[in-house]
Amino acid sequence: MGNVFAGSEVIEMGIQIEKNGKDFYDALAARTKNEKAREMYKYLAGEEERHITVFRKILSSVRTYEPQEAYPGEYFAYMSALASDYVFTKKDMGKAMAGKTKDDKEAIDKGMGFEKDSIVFYEGMKKAVSKEESNVIDMLIGQEQSHLKKLVELKENL
């Protein structure tokens, strides 16, 4: 079984996740009537934009990489399974998902789900990059965890 994804393709999926996240939060900011929620959505959209820049930098340095596996193709099959279930790896889904939310509570719940899914995906992504780049992804995971916490706080305050 050959690789389903190259390391660079995994990083490109990360970029797509962040683009969809930015589009999602931008669309929510434009729709909400709650000023506190609007400020949070704008903040999160800016964070996603910064993450895109980080992933592009990582992408420029990713080489062909073969992670340690129990059997050939194990890692890439795992990442393929994660990506197939994660709606934000699909192009232009951020704005579409925002358009399907009926209120801020539902939007926040979706945002929390997306942040959790991103954390899981990025944990898996770390095997596709060097140790130095893995440390950068750890930093991004920490930021995603912070976003999740902010969304939980916002939900509690609505």
The single-letter DSSP state of residue 100 is T
Q: How confident is the model at residue 43, as a pLDDT?
A: 96
Q: Return the structure tokens found at 41.
A: 């959505």
pLDDT in tens, 35-53: 999 999 999 999 999 999 9
What domains lie within the chain, and their CATH numbers? 7-157 (1.20.1260.10)
Rounded CA separation 134/44 (Å): 22
Contact 26, 45 (CB under 8 A): yes
In the numeric block, which tokens belong to residue 18?
């962040």
pLDDT at 125: 78
- Residue 132's CB: how many other CB atoms inside 10 A? 9
Is pLDDT at 103 greater than 90 in this prediction?
yes
Contacts of 136 (CB under 8 A, 6+ apart): 54, 58
Token representation of residue 25: 């939060």
Q: Has residue 65 got a pLDDT over 60?
A: no
The whole model's pTM is what? 0.79
